[in-house]
Structures are given as structure tokens and as C-alpha cells.
Amino acid sequence: MKRASALALVAATALALSACSGGGGNVGGGNSGAGNTALNIGNFADVTSWDPSLADIGFDGPYLSAVYDPLVAVDGDGKPVPALAKDWKVSADFKTVTMDLRTDAKFSDGEPFNADAAVKSLEYLKKGARSQEAYLKVAGFKKVDADTIEINLKERDDTLLYFMGLGRSYMMAPKAIDAGTLAKTPVGSGPYTLDSSSVAGSEYHFTKVKDHWDAAAFKGDPLAIFPIQDQTARDNAMLSGQINVNYADKAAMDQATQQGWNVAKKVSGWVGLRFTDQAGEKFKPLGEVKVRQALNYAFDGAQILKAIGNGLGAATNQVFPAGMPGNLPGLNDKYAFNLAKAKSLLAEAGYPGGFSVTMPMTQVFQVWQPSVDQTFGQLGIKVKWDNMQYMDYQAKAPTYPMFVSFLAMDSNPVATVTRQISTPQWFNPNPQMDKFPDVQAQVSKVLAATPDAQPAEIEKLNTLVTEKAWFSVWYQADNVYVSASNITVTPVTGMMFPTLRQISFKG
Amino acid sequence: MLRFTLKRLISGIILLLVVGTATFFLAHLAIGDPTVGLLGSSATPAQQAALAHKIGTDRPLLTQFLDWGGHAITGDFGTSWRNFQPVSGQISLKLPVTLSVVTFAIILSAVFGGLFGILAGLNPGTWIDKLVKGAAVVLFALPGFWVSLVLVVWFAVNLKWFPAVGYVQPTMSVQGWLRSITLPAVALALGAIVMVAEQLRNAFIAVNGQDFVRTLRSRGLTQTRVVLHLLRNAAPASLTVLALMFVGLLSGAVVVEQVFALPGIGAMTNGSSQNGDIPILLGITVVSVLFVVIVNFVLDVVLGWLNPKARVQ
């Protein structure tokens, strides 16, 4: 009897607690059907910084797009679309972009958004440690009149508007820029303001701005974003109704099928071997095209995708995103898995018994390490692994002739050309373009081509670098998002998590 | 008692100094150049150099250590390399989350562990004794993350009694706060409850067989009074376990905070390690060691009070 009373007491306490809805959490109400406009997002990572100049594009999209408006946004294909800039015109020499600004936006501290505010924000972003990547070719910004600005370029840059749209053109209140307080307290003109009930690192609550100029595009109300690094925790939060948009995996996709939820996915990055010395200046074997081709033939990308990537992605040997401009399906069979061919190419290149190579390794990439060990073992290539912290991997990996990588891709094909092929990046500090005049010439053609002719030139460049085995791409991995039946997510290649503009309610 | 207390205090301070120093040098050795991770791959060498100068990593390591140590003694652990907010302020935001869960878990362990331990100790060989012993084996063997997941699936996903993830500050809602820490605390406490229960059971059986207990009973004392006498004599072993559990639960909170997405010290440690934010890591280490020292100090004093022989030893 006493035991029964004790159990009853425990159950009653639990029920009493569960009946209370104070504070946070939205147990049971998050992913119900139509009519519910609550938007509770389960994101993988916490916000890097509320200061757009220091923020990362990766997973910061939902956070920053809640409190800031961009000048330019992107659609699902990564094409720039108007936001605070109503429209724009690119000059005939491609060196001036003139933007016509909205006049009905204001910052949450009451300051008006105008050309002065836009120029101040852009100048601040140009100096930012992270945001500067979008403005490397910008000479300066100029106010033309109260609602018109000019962006003057040192040279043509076909990626400017794309990078601005990805999350590099968020407009900040001028006084907040001067005060240097944005990292702690965001002040933008966005569709929401950050609520004081937010708990940093756990849950961020937002209050809808009722008179926002684009309020109709942001139906989520109330809005909360939960940074939850653990996939199982996110899946459980989705099942319990606490969140209704989830950065998902295969298990979450299976849940979605059972629950009737929506699934959206798109390729986000390529997995494979990144060569850093195609010219063979420091590591002679990689200078041989046959060796690089052998390393393409030797990996069974489709099988690696199936076994390690849970089949979530596209088996392709290119760095241009599958199904998007630049990617050529006809090239995918160029290096169809053929170990015998790989061995024969190695022999022809003068390495019948393989060679020895040292490569970096860190915990994040260990999942692919056995594939390399096995394949290299079959080719007679002896690999010595230098283990390091992930933090050090970015700095040290490019000092090795090749390394296992997961590299984010871009929707914009010109951005793919510059980032993956022609300009120095952390993963490719020396593109060695001078050693490959034919590649350099084709890159020049791409960058000089008219917009109509550019796609064809990009395809020629892709064919060229694929034939030269510039990379060893095994597959492209998907980013997957599961959402309640009344919510639609449109993934964007280039963002790990899309902004609120890409999350809409049905009906 | 004063000498005993002073000795414990001095040994605690020495431990704090040794761990703080070792952590400083190990962290700096493990994380080479933090500016790459902090600024991202697009930062220029000039920007990296400027940040290195701002956070002081362009100075000799010994200079950095003396600077950090000098300030740490006054409770100033510097500022985060990532967001330039004071470390102590950030820890004071996260610490209540972890302490809420751990303290709740300790209370649950003390109450339920004590209850089951006394019941089993007073009734050796009966079903309740066998149940406690069996549960001790099973629950102690279960991994914390698995227990956490089962609790989430039952009580958050199926019954929807508690949130699956997140933390509510008590200033926002006391009930919301209790709901947010209940499942994590239970997940942490299950192993501790059976440990405390088994220790108390064994101590109870040992003390119960002693002559003075028979004398107490022969004087006609009620069972409640006898149990109180037994408890005072059997308590030291369980108190030691509880103190050890407190330290263990602080580290166990890392896993539980991950499963329940709680913004506590565990999650902060994880994030700072990934970002290479050494000042935060050092601050967390010092505060954690401080808690260990305080808990051990209080335990020693209480044990010394309960058992004068401990003071002599």
C-alpha cells in the first residue's frame, strides 16, 4: 500500500510538472499539423557570433536571418534575389553594381535603414575577419542618394552577389556598429528581435516584428532555435514535438516516413582526397597525371557513399554540385571503379609497387580512414598517418601532398571555379595555376565570358580538371532537413542550414 | 580539529595550483595556433597576427602563464578568445545549469539511496535486500547515455511529461526549471542511488551486529531511535560515496548535457575544446577543481566530526 502511494506520488509530481508550461520548451505542440505557426528549429550548432562580420555562413543562417535583413538574399538555386536592395544593375564593364534600396525598413533601435546605413554596414563587413571573403575585389562603397548605393569593384567579380546573398550582406544599425556591441546584442532590421528569455547555448527565442516590411514571408510565430549538437537528442526533440524542423540524418528520415513529415535534401559538400601538389613540386608522384587518375579509379565512390554516407548523396567524381550548373553527368563514369586499371596506371607512371606518403588525420575524418587504408594497401601505397586535433587540421592538412576532406560546395558555378580551382583557400594555399597553362587559360575564359557564354566555358573547365584528375572525389554528401507536415524547407548548397527565408509554412 | 582543518585546506590549495599549472601548459601544447579556428579559414595572416596580439598568444608561454596565474589568483580568468566576454561571467552563467542537475541528482541519491539502504540493511536476506543488490549490479552497469535515452523516449517522447531537450532558468519559471532538470538528474542519479544504498546496507548490517546496538535494544529504545544510532555509525561510508559521486557526476554531466542539450559546464567544455578557447577551458578546470577541493574538505570535516578517530589519522 505504501509502495503504491509512493509510486502515485512520483507520478502525480511528474504530471504536475508536465502540466506547467512556464518558461521554455513547447512539449507536444511543436510539430502538429496545419494552423500551427510555431517554428521551433533544431540546429546542429550554436550561433558563431551575433556580429555578422564575425559570423559563419555554415549554421548561422537561421539565427542571423531572424534579426538581420540582408541587402541581397538567395533562392533555392543560389541565385541572388532582392531583399533590402529592391533591385540592382551591373554596369557593362561588370565593375559597378548600383543598388536601389527599400525605404520602409528600420532597425530595432529605431534608426532608419537608408543608403548611409547600408554603406556603413558594408564597410564594416569588408573589414570583418569572416565577412571579408565576399568583398575581396571591392574597391569601395558609395552613397548615390538616400536610397541608392554603388559598389565599385577593382575587377569583375561574378560571385559578389552570390556571397552577399549567402549571408554576407546583413545590415546592422549604425549606432550598434559604433558601439561595438553587436557580438552580444544584435541590432538589425530583421523580421524578429532576440528575446531576453533566450538561454545562450541552449535555446533562443524571438519576438516577431509586426510591421516588418516582409512580414508575410516569415509566418513562424513564435520562433525558437535550439542548438543541439547531438543527433539523437535532436531526433528525440522532434519526436516529442519540441522542435518541428530538424537538421537530420538517416534515422530522422526514417522517423519522417513513419510520422508523415517532410524531408528535404540537397548535396552540400564533396568527400574524397584533396590534392595540394598536382604539379609534384614537393611530392613527385602526384605530379604524374596517371598517378592522380589511378587514385580516382581506385576508390569505389558509390560503395563508400552507401556504406559510410548511408546513401545520402550523389556518386559523382566532380566538385561541381550534382544536378546544378557546371556538373556534367556524362563525366561521372570517367573513373568508374577499376582497381586493375589503377594498378596499371601506377605501373605506367613508374610506381608499380606504389609509394610511401604521409597524410594528416583527425577524428572527424576517421570514418573514411579505413577506405584509404584498404585501397592504398591494394595499390601498394604505404600511408603514414599524422594524427592531430581538428583545430590544427585546417592549418596543417594543406602542408601534406593530399588529405581526406569534406569540402563545402557552392551553388554558384563561378564560386566553385574560384574556390575549388583557381584561388588560394585554406585547403589549397597554392593552386599552382602557373604549372597548368591550359587550366589557367580556361579559368581566364570562364571569368571573362559573357553571362550567356559562361556556363559552356565552365563545363569545359570541369571536363579539363576532371580529365587531369585534379581531385579524387568519391561522392557528394547531402544535407537533410526534416520538418513537420505544415512546414517546407528549401535547402541551399553553400549553406549548411538555410536561412528563415527558405523555411515556409504551407497554406 | 583546527590543525586537521588547516592541513586539509593547504593540501587543497596545492592541488589547485598543480592542476591549474599542468592544464595551462597541456592546453597550450595541444592547441597550436588558435587564431585559425577562431577567425575561420578566410582570415588574412595580418588579421591572425592582430588577433594573436590581442589575446596575447604572441608572447612567450612563460609570460602568458605568469600573467594568467597572477590574475587567476584574484578570480580573474581573463576573457574568452572567441567572444571576448569575461570567462568568470560566462562560467557563472553555465555553472548553475550543471549544479542544478548535479545537486538534484545528489539529493535524489541521498534520499532514495538512504531509504533503500536502510530498508535492505535492516532486512538482510529478504526480497528488498535482494532487490537492492540486484539493482545495484544492473543500474551501475548501465551506461549513462543509454539510461538518458530510455528516459527521454519514455517520459519526453511517449508521455510528453518532460521536455526532451533544453533548460529553463528558475527566474523564468520554477516549474519549467524543475521539468527541464528532472530527467537529466534522474539519469545521473540512478547509478548513484544504488551505490549509496549498497554502501549503507553493508554498513548497517555491520553496525547492527555490534554489542552496543544489542544494548540499545535491551534498554527498550524504539526502532526509530535505534535506526538513528545505526545511521550515525553507518553514515561515513555512504557520505564518502556521495562525495565521490558529486565529483563523478560533474564529469558525467558532460554526457547528460549533450543528450539533453543543456547549456552547462559540460557543453561549454566540449565547445571550448572544439574552438580552442583556452581561457574558458582553464577557467572551467580551476572551478571544477575548486569544487572537488571544497567537497572533499567538507567531507573530511564532517567525517572528522562523526568519527574523531579520522581526525587523528
pLDDT at B108: 93
Percentage of residues of chain A with pLDDT beyond 70: 93
CATH of range A69-185; options 2.40.160.10, 3.40.50.10470, 3.40.190.10, 3.40.50.300: 3.40.190.10
Q: Which residues have C-beta within 8 Å of that of residue A454, sequence separation ≥ 6? A: A158, A413, A414, A446
Search chain A and give the residue with CA nearest B164: A237
pLDDT at B313: 52
Confidence of residue B29 (pLDDT cuts 50, 70, 90): confident
Residue B191 lies in a domain: yes
DSSP state of A112: B
CB contacts of B262 in chain A (<8 Å) are 202
pLDDT at B9: 82
Partner-chain residue, chosen from B42, B152, B262, that has the shortest CB–CB distance to A132: B42
Residue B168 lies in a domain: yes
In angstroms, what CA-CA distances link B245 with B102, B145, B190, B192, B307?
9, 17, 11, 7, 21
CB contacts of B173 in chain A (<8 Å) are 20, 22-24
Element (H, E) at B114: helix B114-122
Query: In this complex, is the C-beta atom of A387 within 8 Å of any C-beta atom belonging to chain B?
Result: no
pLDDT at B266: 85
- Would you say domain A20-67+190-261+484-507 falls under CATH 3.40.190.10? yes
Query: In this complex, is the C-beta atom of A390 within 8 Å of any C-beta atom belonging to chain B?
Result: yes
How far apart (Å, rounded) are the C-alpha atoms in residues A349 and A25? Answer: 62
Confidence of residue B244 (pLDDT cuts 50, 70, 90): confident
Answer yes or no: is pLDDT of B309 > 70.
no
Answer yes or no: is pLDDT of B189 > 60.
yes
Amino acid residing at A71: L
Domain with CATH 3.10.105.10 in chain A: 267-478
CB contacts of A22 in chain B (<8 Å) are 168, 172-176
Q: What is the mean pLDDT of residues B240-256?
A: 81
Q: What does residue A63 show for φ and ψ, rounded to 5 degrees?
A: -65, -55
Element (H, E) at A141: strand A138-145
How far apart (Å, rounded) are the C-alpha atoms in residues A443 and A259? Answer: 48
Partner-chain residue, chosen from A17, A200, A236, that has the shortest CB–CB distance to B156: A236
Q: Decide which of B135 and A475 is more confident.
A: A475
Residue B256 lies in a domain: yes
Q: Contact B180/A25, CB-based, under 8 Å?
A: yes
Task: Report the gap between the CA of B182 and the closest CA in chain A (Å).
Answer: 9
Confidence of residue A27 (pLDDT cuts 50, 70, 90): very low
Q: What is the mean pLDDT of residues B233-242?
A: 81
Residue B75 lies in a domain: no
> A231-239 and A250-259 are packed helices; what angle lies between their axes, rounded to 10 degrees?
10
pLDDT at A392: 77
Confidence of residue A4 (pLDDT cuts 50, 70, 90): very low
Query: In this complex, is the C-beta atom of A6 within 8 Å of any C-beta atom belonging to chain B?
Result: no
HEC string for A64-93: HHHHCCECEEECCCCCEEECCEEEEEECCC
Q: Contact B162/A14, CB-based, under 8 Å?
A: yes
Conformational region of residue A94, where left means phi above 0, alpha means psi within -120 to 50, and beta covers everything else: left
pLDDT at B274: 76
Task: Report pLDDT digits (tens) over B123-181.
Answer: 888 998 898 888 888 887 888 788 888 999 999 989 989 999 888 888 888 999 999 99
Confidence of residue B40 (pLDDT cuts 50, 70, 90): low
Domain with CATH 3.40.190.10 in chain A: 20-67+190-261+484-507, 69-185
How far apart (Å, rounded) are the C-alpha atoms in residues A320 and A337? Answer: 20
Q: Contact B160/A46, CB-based, under 8 Å?
A: no
Answer whether A67's CB lies under 8 Å from A206's CB.
yes
User: Considering chain A, what is the average pLDDT of its residues?
Assistant: 91
pLDDT at B54: 84
Confidence of residue A125 (pLDDT cuts 50, 70, 90): very high
Partner-chain residue, chosen from B41, B159, B276, that has the shortest CB–CB distance to A425: B41
How far apart (Å, rounded) are the C-alpha atoms in residues A431 and B100? Answer: 53
Task: Report the gap between the CA of A101 and the closest CA in chain B (Å).
Answer: 29
Answer yes or no: is pLDDT of A3 > 60.
no
Search chain A and give the residue with CA nearest B182: A14
Q: Which of A163, A236, A410 to mutate to test the interface with B (most CBs of B within 10 A)?
A: A236
Task: Report pLDDT digits (tens) over A44-87.
Answer: 989 989 999 999 888 999 999 999 999 999 999 999 999 999 99
Q: Contact B37/A394, CB-based, under 8 Å?
A: yes
Element (H, E) at A42: strand A39-43
CB contacts of B155 in chain A (<8 Å) are 14
Q: Contact B260/A232, CB-based, under 8 Å?
A: no
Q: Contact B178/A17, CB-based, under 8 Å?
A: yes
Q: How far apart are the first and last CA of chain A?
A: 54
Q: Count CB neighbours of A116 within 10 A.
A: 14
CATH, residue B206: 1.10.3720.10
Q: What is the radius of gyration, based on Cα positions, of chain B?
A: 24
Partner-chain residue, chosen from A22, A237, A395, that has the shortest CB–CB distance to B165: A237
Query: In this complex, is the C-beta atom of A202 within 8 Å of any C-beta atom belonging to chain B?
Result: yes
* Residue pointed to by grid coordinates 574552438: B275
Domain region containing B219:
96-275
pLDDT at A8: 44
pLDDT at A167: 96
| Range of lowest pLDDT (A176-185, B7-16, B18-27, B280-289) | B7-16
pLDDT at B209: 83
Answer whether B213's CB lies under 8 Å from B207's CB.
yes
As given in the structure block, the three cell numbers for residue A27 are: 512539449
Q: Which residues have C-beta within 8 Å of that of residue B225, sequence separation ≥ 6? A: B216
Under CATH, to which class is A267-478 assigned? alpha beta
Of A157, A170, A185, the C-alpha closest to A125 is A170
Task: Report pLDDT digits (tens) over A436-450.
Answer: 999 999 999 999 999
HEC string for A160-214: HHHHHHHHHCECECHHHHHHCCCCCCCCECCCEEECCCCECCCEEEEEECCCCCC
How far apart (Å, rounded) are the C-alpha atoms in residues B31 and B34? Answer: 6
Answer whether B37's CB lies under 8 Å from B276's CB.
yes
Task: Report pLDDT digits (tens) over A209-261.
Answer: 999 999 999 999 999 999 998 898 999 999 999 999 999 998 999 999 999 99
The tally of domains found in chain B comes to 1
Residue B207 lies in a domain: yes
Question: What is the pTM (predicted TM-score) of this model?
Answer: 0.83
Q: What is the mean pLDDT of residues A452-478?
A: 97
Confidence of residue A407 (pLDDT cuts 50, 70, 90): very high
Q: What is the ipTM of this complex?
A: 0.73
Q: Contact A28/B43, CB-based, under 8 Å?
A: no
Answer whether A237's CB lies under 8 Å from A255's CB.
no
Task: Report the gap between the CA of A345 and the closest CA in chain B (Å).
Answer: 35
pLDDT at B35: 81
Q: What does residue A386 show for φ and ψ, rounded to 5 degrees?
A: -100, 105
Amino acid residing at A16: A
As given in the structure block, the three cell numbers for residue B283 are: 577557467
Partner-chain residue, chosen from A17, A201, A227, that has the shortest CB–CB distance to B182: A17
* Residue pointed to by grid coordinates 545528489: B106
As given in the structure block, the three cell numbers for residue B114 are: 538512504
Q: Decide which of B267 and B22 is more confident.
A: B22
pLDDT at A19: 43
Answer yes or no: is pLDDT of A96 > 70.
yes
Pairing type for strands A313-314 and A96-101 reads unpaired
Answer yes or no: is pLDDT of A30 > 60.
no
Confidence of residue B41 (pLDDT cuts 50, 70, 90): low
Confidence of residue A88 (pLDDT cuts 50, 70, 90): very high
pLDDT at A489: 97
